[in-house]
């Protein structure tokens, strides 16, 4: 599949064999029972390595899987509240929200109003203000409280500098000799 006439060749141990014709490099690889794989196609002349192509593809897919495992996908978790929620129920939902924020997920707090509760929208805004103050050290507001029909919603996201504070920072006690 290599169409260029001259390539820089590296053998299976990583030793440079130099610039040579592609056909000659292919025959060297076939003699060793391996493949000629183009590693750096954008360089002139392109760099090719003598190796087992199946093993090369397997290692690349393994690296891709490992890097995918280390990535964190952020989810939006929703916590629904009512203006007349009891204190214990609110604390329970706040504890769940704290878990979500520690897992670096975003949390959408929604206060739902029914019937005559619409006359007391300020209760919903007060509740969201209390939630904002409670989580101010571990989260920040991504979307301010907004009324949408019979609901008021607010989105909070985890702070990026939170890990640095937990792992020890300037405020920690210093060892004095």
What DSSP string describes 40-101? ETTSSSPEEEEE-HHHHHHHHHHHHHHHHHH-----EEEEEE-TT--HHHHHHHHHHHHHHH
> Based on the number of CB atoms within 10 Å of its own CB, is 111 exposed (0-12), middle (13-18) or buried (19 or more)?
buried
Cβ contact 94:106 at 8 Å:
no
Question: How many CA atoms are closer than 13 Å to the CA of 34, on its beta-carbon side?
Answer: 18
Does the pLDDT of residue 169 top 90, yes or no?
Answer: no
CATH of the domain spanning 6-57: 3.10.20.80
Per-residue pLDDT tens digits for 96-122: 999 999 988 999 999 999 999 999 999
Q: Domain 76-159 classified CATH 3.30.110.10?
A: yes
Give the rounded distance of the alpha carbon of 88 from its chain centre.
Answer: 34
| Cα(62)–Cα(68) distance, integer angstroms | 10
What is the pLDDT of the chain when averaged over all its residues? 86
Per-residue pLDDT tens digits for 9-63: 998 888 898 899 988 988 999 998 999 988 888 888 899 999 998 988 998 899 8
pTM of the model: 0.56
* Predicted local confidence at residue 89, as pLDDT: 94
- Fold: same for 6-57 and 76-159: no
* Predicted local confidence at residue 165, as pLDDT: 43
* Predicted local confidence at residue 161, as pLDDT: 54
* Predicted local confidence at residue 139, as pLDDT: 92
Find, among 105, 102, 83, 85, the residue nearest to 93 by Cα.
Answer: 85
Q: So where are the chain's domains?
A: 6-57, 76-159
């Amino acid at each position: 599949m290599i169409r260029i006439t001259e390539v820089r060749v590296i053998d299976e141990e990583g030793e440079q064999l130099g610039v040579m014709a592609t056909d000659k490099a292919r025959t060297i690889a076939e003699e060793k029972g391996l493949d000629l794989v183009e590693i750096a196609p954008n360089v002139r002349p392109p760099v090719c390595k003598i190796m087992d192509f199946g093993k090369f593809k397997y290692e690349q897919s393994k690296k891709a899987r490992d890097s995918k495992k280390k990535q964190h996908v952020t989810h939006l978790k929703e916590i629904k509240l009512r203006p007349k929620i009891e204190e214990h129920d609110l604390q329970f939902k706040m504890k769940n929200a704290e878990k979500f924020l520690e897992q670096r997920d975003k949390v959408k707090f929604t206060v739902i109003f029914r019937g005559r509760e619409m006359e007391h929208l300020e209760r919903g805004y007060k509740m969201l203000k209390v939630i904002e103050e409670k989580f101010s050290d571990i989260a920040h507001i991504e979307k301010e409280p907004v009324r949408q029909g019979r609901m008021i919603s607010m989105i909070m996201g985890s702070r990026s500098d939170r890990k640095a504070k937990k792992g020890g920072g300037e405020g920690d006690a210093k060892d004095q000799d």
